[in-house]
Structure 1
């Protein structure tokens, strides 16, 4: 797998991948999520390709205090090839180069398989509660 930064022509393939991986939720318009990411640290939005086919993504950011990772996805046909691990290692490398001391990510409690994937990479559950408040409603774009 080759890892590179997201390019605008990747949008449809990225959204199809996220849909195939069950990452899209009605309250998060993926086109808006992509557009927002492209305004901040777009070089930290990574895609993985295999023979020019987009097969993986990871969206990362660093706020000066912590790094965050969202939308780690690997095409179901390409799982168990260490593509997710490769993307996470590249995200960690890029964040470390920025001076990021710690990376955080969110996984739904019900997603046991993904929790085990991250544990295998050395991630541990923090003793914290994630709270959120929507500031801008995300309705599907027309």
Structure 2
């Protein structure tokens, strides 16, 4: 098992995994998101590859203080093997090496199973409200 930044040829596999995991939304282009993360100096997409297959991913980025983790996904057939924990720990390690002091992530409040997973890893409700604003064309919902 290896965890490292994915190469551009793995972007379609990552996007397919994110779709399988229910992480994609019509207004977010996962291919563009992955390309942008790999192109930027403060972000990456980590992939857990085993036996030549992309089995888990995590996108990580930082602003110089706070790190963020996105697109955490494990192939459905590989869940329960500790791969989610491994990819999160790798993303945290990448962020720490980049100088991030804190890591944050967003989980839809209806996704209680995933919230329980993150709580087991030491994450806690930050008791904040996330606000957003589209700077370009609004999404079609």
Which runs of no fewer than 5 residues in structure 1 stay unpaired? Answer: none
Give the RMSD, CA atoms, in angstroms: 1.8
1:3 has 2:3 as partner: yes
Runs of 4+ in 1 over 4 A off after TM superposition: none
**Contact persistence 2:38–2:44 (CA under 8 A):** no
CA deviation vs aligned residue, 1:57-85 (integer Å, no higher than 9, x gap): 00001111200000000000000111110
Residues 5-44 of structure 1 mapped to structure 2, 5 A cutoff = 5-41=5-41, 44=44
| In structure 2, C-alpha distance between the alignment counterparts of 1:58 and 1:45, rounded to whole Å | 6
> Is the contact made by 2:65 and 2:99 (CA closer than 8 Å) also made in structure 1?
no
What is the number of equivalent residue pairs in this alignment? 140
Matched residues in 2 for 1:3 and 1:42: separation?
18
Of the two structures, which has the highest relative contact order with CA contacts closer than 8 Å and spacing of 6 or more? 1
User: Residues 6 and 45 of structure 1 are in contact (CA less than 8 Å); yes or no, is this contact kept in structure 2?
Assistant: yes
Q: Secondary structure at the match of 1:91?
A: helix
Give the structure-2-normalised TM-score: 0.92
Q: Does 1:129 align with 2:129?
A: yes
CA distance in 2, matches of 1:137, 1:71: 22
Where do residues 84-95 of structure 1 align in structure 2 (5 Å cutoff)?
A: 84-95=84-95
- Shift in Å, 1:54: 0.7
- Secondary structure of 2:39's aligned partner: coil
Per the normalisation by structure 1, the TM-score is 0.91
